[in-house]
C-alpha cells in the first residue's frame, strides 16, 4: 500500500494573530515571535528525511516553510491550494468588529454554517474541497516519503477533520497552534491522524531570542 507521511504546520505568529484580526488572503508577514517560531520548528525538523516542503504562497506560510526547507535541504514549492480561507469583505476586521458590525454573519460563522460565505469569500465547503484536493494531490506524488505542508488555521482544521472523521460542523476541541508539529498518514483511501499539536520545540524553557 502506498503511504506518505505528512507533517502539517500552521505558519508562525503574525501581528494580526495577536490582534485576532482576520487575515484570510491578505498577505501579512510574520512578527518577531513568528520568525523565532519558524526557526525553532526548522531546528526540530532538521533531522527528518523530508522529501519536499509545500507552502501556501502567502508570505507568513512561505517564510515559515523556507526555514524548514533550509534546515532539511528539501525542495520548497508554493501551493495556492494551501491558502487560508478567503473571508472577502471581512478580512482586516477583528472578531469583535464582526460581531458588532455584522451580527447575522457572525452567528452563521459561529454555527459553522457550511454554506455561509462572506461577500467575496469562501464557504467551509469550498475550503474543504480545495484543501483536501491539494493535500491528496501532493501526498500522492511522494509514496513512501515524508512531506511538510505549511498552511494556515483553516486548512489545518480541514486536515484534522478529514483524518479523524469529524463533521464539518462539529465544535472544534483541538488546537491549531502557530508552528506546532502535526503528523498524519496518507494513503489513497484518505488521511489518518498520528499526532497533533506538538509544541515542545516552542516551550519557554527552550526559547533563545538571540538564536538565528
Mean pLDDT of 38-66: 98
Is 84 considered catalytic here? Answer: yes
How far is residue 123's CA from residue 112's CA, in Å, rounded to a whole number?
A: 9
Could you read off the pLDDT of 117-165 as tens digits, one per residue?
999 999 999 999 999 999 999 999 999 999 999 999 999 999 999 999 9
Q: Which of 13, 84, 91, 122 is catalytic?
A: 84
Closest CA to 47 of 29, 24, 72: 72
Closest Cα partner for 180 from 67, 11, 20? 11
Per-residue pLDDT tens for 88-122? 999 999 999 999 999 999 999 999 999 999 999 99
Domains located in the chain, CATH noted: 4-86+125-206 (3.40.50.1240)
Between CA 84 and CA 160 the distance in angstroms is 15
pLDDT of residue 121: 97
% of the chain at pLDDT higher than 90:
94
- Indicate whether 207 pLDDT > 90: no
Please report which confidence band the pLDDT of residue 2 belongs to, taking 50, 70 and 90 as the band edges: confident
Checking if the pLDDT of 210 tops 50, the result is: no
**Residues 11, 25, 142, 152: which is the catalytic one?**
11
Q: Say whether 60 sits in a helix, a strand or coil.
A: helix
Phi, psi for 191 (deg, rounded to 5): -105, 150
Distance CA 15, CA 13 (A): 7
The average confidence (pLDDT) of the chain is 95
- On whether the CB atoms of residues 178 and 36 are closer than 8 A, the answer is no
**Of 5, 4, 6, 8, which Cα lies nearest the Cα of 152?**
8
Per-residue model confidence (pLDDT) at position 70: 98
- Which strands form 190-198's sheet, in the order they lie side by side? 76-78, 52-55, 146-151, 4-10, 181-187, 190-198
Q: Is 11 a catalytic residue?
A: yes
Amino acid at each position: 500500500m502506498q503511504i506518505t507521511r505528512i507533517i502539517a504546520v500552521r505558519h508562525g505568529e503574525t501581528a494580526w494573530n495577536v490582534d485576532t484580526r482576520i487575515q484570510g488572503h491578505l498577505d501579512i508577514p510574520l512578527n518577531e515571535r513568528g520568525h523565532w517560531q519558524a526557526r525553532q520548528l526548522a531546528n526540530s525538523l532538521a533531522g527528518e528525511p523530508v522529501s519536499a516542503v509545500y507552502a501556501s504562497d502567502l508570505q507568513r506560510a512561505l517564510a515559515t516553510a523556507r526555514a524548514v526547507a533550509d534546515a532539511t535541504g528539501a525542495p520548497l514549492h508554493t501551493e495556492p491550494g494551501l491558502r487560508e480561507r478567503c473571508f472577502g469583505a471581512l478580512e482586516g476586521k477583528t472578531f469583535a468588529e464582526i460581531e458588532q458590525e455584522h451580527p447575522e454573519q457572525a452567528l452563521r460563522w459561529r454555527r459553522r454554517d457550511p454554506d455561509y460565505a462572506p461577500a467575496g469569500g469562501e464557504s467551509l465547503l469550498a475550503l474543504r474541497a480545495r484543501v483536501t484536493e491539494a493535500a491528496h494531490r501532493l501526498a500522492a506524488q511522494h509514496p513512501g516519503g515524508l512531506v511538510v505542508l505549511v498552511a494556515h488555521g483553516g486548512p489545518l482544521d480541514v486536515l484534522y477533520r478529514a483524518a479523524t472523521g469529524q463533521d464539518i460542523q462539529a465544535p472544534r476541541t483541538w488546537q491549531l497552534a502557530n508552528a506546532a508539529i502535526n503528523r498524519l498518514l496518507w494513503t489513497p483511501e484518505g488521511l489518518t491522524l498520528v499526532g497533533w499539536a506538538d509544541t515542545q520545540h516552542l516551550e519557554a524553557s527552550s526559547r533563545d531570542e538571540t538564536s538565528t
